[in-house]
Structure 1
Amino acid sequence: MFIALVFLNPIKRWVNYSSGKKGSPELKVLSFNTKAGHMGRDKIQTYLKSQNADVILLQEEGKGYEIEGYQKVNPFGGFTVLTRHKIISQKIIRPQGEDLRIPGVQIDIEVKGRVYRFIDVYLHPFRFEKEMVKLNGDSDANEQKVKDVIKKLIPTFKKHQEQVGLLRESIENSPYPVIVGGDFNSVPNSYEYYHVSEGLEDAFLSSGKGSGTSFHDYKFPIRIDYIFSSKSVHPVSYLVDRSISISDHYPVIAEFAIDSK
């Protein structure tokens, strides 16, 4: 029983069965890595419009989308935020020096009389090719593949450590409740997951059902897309939308109950 309790939460970060909605949804947030629209920009545009979300956080999206009734914020290539509400401020979460690998952007948005800080995240990718993670019966070839994977892992983990530190500054310095969403290129139970989500609530863990798998290009379960929120913002539902396949990621959608002024 003790062992089961120790491993319960780590397992639930991959596969979870909550009791369903825990309140009335008042704020809908959609996060989606669009793969730069390579699988069909028109399809993505139609899908985003159909969701009627309050805030849309897009990654790997340089051009953005024009949706009637939405303001678009595109402060840096790779990130686009769309919202039906009033934008108070925006900022690029920028590393020091000449490093152009931006881990995210922060947008402060007023919703129903209260301001929230939304952070759109895209951590540096590992850039694995499918063949690199596909083992076969050749032990020598498989050993070399493992070595090649490790060579890519170490420098990327170091880069993630820096990027996570910048994200934590944005979270901890926020005068407003925070909602963080995006492509973390990191699985649950990782350094990135634990440190970014510290003090926050994982919407999938709180209100999700079934598998949290959000990246489907490798044909085996990987959860690397998340939506976290301050404790004062209560997740009431969470969905990995597998009804469409217009990117190598599935959109993730969370609804929240919020307190108006």
Structure 2
Amino acid sequence: MFAGLAFMQPVKRWVNYSAEKKGNADIKVVSFNTKTGMKDRAEVNAYLKAQEADVILLQEDAGKSYGLKGYEIVSPNGVLTVLTRHKIISQKVLRPQDDDDKIPGMQIDIEIQGKIYRFIDVYLFPFKFEKQMVKLNGDTDANEQKVKDIVKRLIPTFKTHQDQVSLIREAVENSPYPVILAGDFNSVPNSYEYYHLSEDLQDAFLTAGKGSATSFHDYKFPIRIDYVFSSKSLQAVSYRVDRSVSLSDHYPVISEFSLNNK
């Protein structure tokens, strides 16, 4: 029984069957790694327009071709893009001191219904695996070499992630406003990145998600690397990975929140 309880929470980060949530959704948030150029930009534009979201957080996205009426767009580095129908109070790129190519996030303070919320769009540095790199075959020597090559890639990327997570945590901890943290973490749910970035925040999938949270579909096995976290003062009332579209190697993640303005 105790072993089952110990494994229950980690498993729920991949597959969850939450009870039906009650309450009105005050805000709709879409997080999506669009993998710029992978599909027709017009299709992505049409999809985002149809969502009628309050805030859209995009990763691997230059943001220059969007013309959504009524939205203000912020895309300072050609990788992270935020669109919103509400008033932007301030914005800041979370910039490492020594490497502008590894910017992990962007914070946008947005006023919604008379109150300010901090949105952080996250894109942690990718591991840059090719499919053939992780596909093993019957050749023991070749497979052993593949494993060694994977480890060589993992170690420096983990170090980069450690520095990037520290920058993002600073933005969360120093926020005077409730936080919604979302994006492509390039990390699985039982990772260092998940544990540290979710600290003192709620995983919207655990609160309001159902079924599988798999969001990256370029490999045959299921991987969850896209997340939506929020301050505990915000109540997630829905969470959905939209598998009805294949506009990228990621599926869009859509969450709705009750803002609990008091």
The normalised TM-score by structure 1 is 0.98
Farther-moved stretch of structure 1 (137-146 vs 40-49): 137-146
Aligned to 2:206: 205
**SS of equivalent residue, structure 2 residue 75:** strand
Aligned to 1:102: 103
Q: Is structure 2 residue 57 aligned with structure 1 residue 57?
A: yes
- Which whole-Å CA distance do the structure 1 matches of 2:69 and 2:188 have between them? 35
Displacement of 1:142 in angstroms is: 1.1
- Which whole-Å CA distance do the structure 2 matches of 1:25 and 1:98 have between them? 39
Displacement of 1:99 in angstroms is: 4.2
Aligned to 2:38: 38
Aligned to 1:71: 72
Unaligned runs of 5+ in 1: none
- Conserved 8 A contact 1:37-1:247: no
Aligned to 1:159: 160
Aligned to 1:25: 25
- Which whole-Å CA distance do the structure 1 matches of 2:68 and 2:169 have between them? 31
Farther-moved stretch of structure 1 (204-213 vs 37-46): 37-46
- Which whole-Å CA distance do the structure 1 matches of 2:228 and 2:154 have between them? 24
- Write the letter of the residue equivalent to 1:223: R
The normalised TM-score by structure 2 is 0.98
Matches within 5 A, 1:134-145: 134-145=135-146
- Conserved 8 A contact 2:235-2:260: no
Aligned to 1:149: 150
Displacement of 1:132 in angstroms is: 0.5
- Conserved 8 A contact 2:168-2:197: yes
- Taking only aligned residues, the RMSD between alpha carbons, in angstroms, comes to 1.0
Aligned to 1:187: 188
- Which whole-Å CA distance do the structure 2 matches of 1:63 and 1:72 have between them? 8
Cα displacement string for residues 104-141 of structure 1 (whole angstroms, at most 9, x for unaligned residues): 00000001111000000000000000001111111111
- Write the letter of the residue equivalent to 1:213: T
Displacement of 1:259 in angstroms is: 2.5
- Which whole-Å CA distance do the structure 1 matches of 2:114 and 2:260 have between them? 9
Displacement of 1:21 in angstroms is: 2.4
Matches within 5 A, 1:78-93: 78-93=79-94
Name the % identity.
69
- Which whole-Å CA distance do the structure 1 matches of 2:103 and 2:133 have between them? 26
Q: Give the total of aligned pairs.
A: 261
Aligned to 2:175: 174
Cα displacement string for residues 166-206 of structure 1 (whole angstroms, at most 9, x for unaligned residues): 00000000000000000000000100000000000000011
- Which whole-Å CA distance do the structure 1 matches of 2:173 and 2:249 have between them? 32
- Conserved 8 A contact 1:30-1:56: yes
- Which whole-Å CA distance do the structure 2 matches of 1:150 and 1:166 have between them? 25
- Which whole-Å CA distance do the structure 2 matches of 1:177 and 1:260 have between them? 11
